[in-house]
């Protein structure tokens, strides 16, 4: 028996356990303006799903009492940093976990303050659903529009709008209807198809986990029921197969078992689609083809692998593939390109300017890039593009980039994974932008310069 299998092998008679029932994982992100009660809603979700244990609740109650509050301030469950408690605001994304009988949830609690928009981008980038909070008394604010715009831009598959503090408007159906109409109008403008609104009181728990008798006019699900019932965001079977190669596994003399001395596998996470043993694949950007002869997950052999599984592929031919390459299905492999038109969310203090050189990370490859032009910035008031010479912090703009070597990028609208990239400051390694590939331009042709002025483009 070789060393690894000892670690991976049974030593105990463990049997099976009833608590092992495992559902799927849903990632959600919250968004809302300051004081919309986001932390309270998150605290309420945790509390009502029994995810807050008694010692945590006791700590919250003790601190709430010390501050002269009458009830437990559930926001204290999530505001984890000293500065947040001091200022009573949420500064950074906090991750929380709760589960019901059918699903486990990873919740990214994103701050609402305008200067922290980048955190909303961070939370939304991995989210299957965004929970957008609106204060029933205030309706749609500039922040709400901005959050919805970011959600649309990042193509979060679902949006649910929690119209909060419904208790403070006496559970008035008319108020809810008015806010809902406003939300639907903005959502339509932004191309958000699916934005269900639910009247809630995060403070008292109405329609959060359980439906409230105080909103008899509302017949829809509670927020938690809605989240439990959401279908899986995408069915990756229908997407094209892509696997960015993270490492080449080639143990040679170091193999744990002599039988694996000649092992050669390409390790990575399937970004989209399904791959089966026997499939013909192509390595990008080289374009060399081969056939899948094996799929390994540790010592376990699989017949197929699908999106978001981390596996190692073995191929029939010893073709030149290294870290950073993408293994793709042959039929619809993307054409590698050195010219990219993309929407970027600029996240650094110093503005982005034309001519700037930055590193671009796509999948597992990082290349040099130069900003050829800034082709417009998004005005979040009317959601239209305006001319821009630079992009300041938190601005969203359209840019043209030239890459030092070709990348098999895809359109973000067809592939969230294949179309997303980071821009990185080569000097200090900071991530300075989130990028989404719009249209790829032919490699040979010069990128056309966009006309100056009020050109419209949809996000």
Partner 1 sequence: MSAVTAERPITTTPETHVLGQLDALESEAILIIREIVGELERPVLLFSGGKDSVVMLHLAAKAFWPAPIPFPVLHVDTGHNFPELLDYRDETVERLGLRLEVARVQDYLDDGRLRERADGLRNALQTVPLLDAINEHRFDGVFGGARRDEEKARAKERIVSLRDEFGQWDPKNQRPELWNLFNPRHRPGEHVRAFPISNWTELDVWKYIEREDIPLAPLYYAHEREVFNRDGMWLAVGPYSQPRDDEPVETRLVRYRTVGDMSCTGAVESPARSNAEIVVEVAASTLTERGATRADDRISEAAMEDRKKEGYF
Q: Collapsing DSSP states into helix, strand and coil, what is residue 46?
A: helix
Q: 146 is written with which tokens?
A: 């901005």
Q: Is 108 left (phi over 0), alpha (psi -120 to 50) or beta?
A: beta
Report the site for partner 1 in 127-166 (rule: CB under 8 A): none
Contact 360, 403 (CB under 8 A): yes
Say whether residue 229 binds partner 1 (CB under 8 A). Answer: no
Report the site for partner 1 in 355-394 (rule: CB under 8 A): 359, 361-364
How near is the Cβ of 439 to partner 1 at its closest, in Å? 20
How near is the Cβ of 55 to partner 1 at its closest, in Å? 3
Question: Considering only residues 15, 68, 213, 453, which one is a binding residue for partner 1 as defined by CB under 8 A?
Answer: 15
- CB-based contacts of 141: which residues, under 8 Å, 6+ apart? 33, 134
Across the strands, what pairs with 272?
242
Say whether residue 93 binds partner 1 (CB under 8 A). Answer: yes
Q: How far apart are the first and last CA of the chain?
A: 57
Residue number, 97 or 217, with CB nearest to partner 1: 97
Three-state SS string over 414-436 comes to: CCCCCCEEEEECCCCCCEEEEEE
Q: Is 432 left (phi over 0), alpha (psi -120 to 50) or beta?
A: alpha
Stretch that binds partner 1, among 182-190, 235-243, 394-402, 448-456 (CB under 8 A): 235-243
Residue number, 254 or 331, with CB nearest to partner 1: 254
Say whether residue 434 binds partner 1 (CB under 8 A). Answer: yes
What's the CA gap between 248 and 266, in Å, rounded? 5
Report the site for partner 1 in 100-129 (rule: CB under 8 A): 104, 106, 118-119, 121-122, 125-126
Stretch that binds partner 1, among 132-140, 245-253, 392-400, 441-449 (CB under 8 A): 245-253
Report the site for partner 1 in 262-321 (rule: CB under 8 A): 263, 267-269, 274, 296-302, 306-310, 312
How near is the Cβ of 181 to partner 1 at its closest, in Å? 33
Which residue do the tokens 């290294």 mark? 322
Say whether residue 43 binds partner 1 (CB under 8 A). Answer: no
How near is the Cβ of 267 to partner 1 at its closest, in Å? 6
């Amino acid at each position: 028996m070789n060393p690894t299998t000892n670690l991976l092998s049974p030593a105990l008679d463990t049997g099976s356990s009833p608590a092992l029932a495992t559902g799927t994982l849903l990632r959600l992100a919250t968004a809302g303006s300051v004081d919309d009660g986001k932390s309270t809603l998150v605290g309420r979700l945790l509390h009502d799903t029994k995810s807050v244990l008694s010692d945590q609740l006791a700590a919250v109650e003790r601190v709430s009492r010390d501050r002269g509050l009458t009830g437990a301030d559930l926001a204290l469950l999530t505001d984890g940093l000293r500065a947040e408690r001091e200022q009573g605001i949420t500064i950074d994304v906090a991750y929380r976990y709760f589960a019901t009988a059918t699903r486990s949830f990873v919740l990214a609690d994103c701050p609402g303050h305008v200067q922290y928009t980048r955190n909303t981008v961070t939370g939304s980038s991995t989210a299957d659903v965004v929970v957008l909070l609106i204060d029933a008394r205030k309706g749609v604010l500039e922040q709400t529009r901005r959050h919805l715009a970011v959600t649309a831009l990042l193509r979060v598959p679902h949006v649910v709008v929690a119209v909060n503090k419904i208790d403070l408007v006496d559970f008035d159906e008319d108020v809810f209807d008015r806010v809902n109409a406003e939300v639907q109008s903005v959502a339509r403008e932004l191309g958000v198809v699916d934005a269900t609104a639910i009247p809630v009181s995060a403070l008292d728990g109405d329609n959060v986990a359980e439906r409230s008798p105080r909103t008899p006019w509302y017949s829809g699900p509670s927020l938690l029921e809605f989240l439990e019932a959401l279908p899986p965001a995408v069915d990756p079977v229908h997407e094209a197969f892509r696997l960015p190669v993270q490492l080449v596994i080639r143990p040679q003399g170091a193999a744990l078992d002599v039988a694996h001395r000649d092992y050669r596998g390409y390790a990575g996470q399937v970004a989209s689609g399904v791959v089966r043993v026997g499939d013909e694949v192509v390595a990008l950007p080289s374009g060399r083809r081969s056939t899948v002869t094996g799929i390994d997950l540790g010592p376990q052999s699989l017949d197929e692998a699908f999106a978001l599984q981390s596996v190692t592929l073995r191929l029939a031919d010893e073709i030149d593939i290294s870290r950073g390459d993408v293994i793709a299905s042959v039929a619809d492999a993307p054409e590698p390109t050195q010219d990219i038109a993309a929407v970027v969310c600029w996240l650094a203090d110093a503005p982005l300017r034309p001519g700037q050189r930055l590193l671009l990370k796509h999948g597992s490859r990082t290349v040099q890039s130069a900003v050829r032009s800034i082709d417009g910035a998004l005005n979040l008031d009317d959601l239209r593009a305006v001319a821009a010479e630079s992009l300041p912090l938190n601005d969203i703009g359209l840019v043209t980039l030239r890459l030092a070597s070709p990348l098999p990028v895809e359109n973000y609208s067809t592939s969230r994974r294949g179309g997303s990239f980071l821009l990185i400051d080569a000097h200090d390694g900071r991530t300075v932008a989130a990028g989404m590939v719009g249209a790829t331009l032919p490699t040979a042709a010069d990128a056309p310069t966009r006309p100056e002025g009020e050109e419209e483009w949809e996000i």
